[in-house]
Amino acid sequence: MSVIVGLLSGLMFGLGLIVAGMVDPAKVLGFLDLGGAWDPSLAFVMAGAIAVGLPAFTLARRRRETFLGLQMQLPTSQLLDRRLVLGSVMFGVGWGLAGLCPGPALVVAGVGAPKALVFVGAMLAGMGVFEWLEARRG
């Protein structure tokens, strides 16, 4: 059952990204171009996501299990350290260079767009390097 719910949730998320315009790198770059022809429409998408997510995460923090009976797995760290800041900067730079972030990149890669396929490949390589470095670290 959880696989079906996960599949339907992912499908709804992907459709939401398409409807919101998050899969169009030109629209995303227009949003990030604060000094030029700024397109504020994605700010409304983000505000809508926060409006939906905030109550959901508030409820989730009070629960030990998901509605499907699985263990709740939420981040517990509130530490703001160098690794988090550097990772956030790398994420933002990648988003600004490509006009894609991971969710929309997977959606666009699903239709075979070369730019998205390269982005997803680089993202997977970066995840692999991170895991390798973490294994060496600890």
The token duo for 35 is: 């000094």
Residuewise pLDDT in 10s, the chain (138 residues): 889 999 999 999 999 999 988 899 888 899 888 888 899 988 998 899 999 999 999 999 999 998 888 999 988 888 999 989 998 998 888 888 888 989 999 999 998 999 999 999 999 999 999 999 999 987
The token duo for 93 is: 């730079």
- Give the integer Cα–Cα distance in Å for 31 and 45: 11
- Record the pTM: 0.76
Quick check: 66 and 54 in contact, CB under 8 A? no
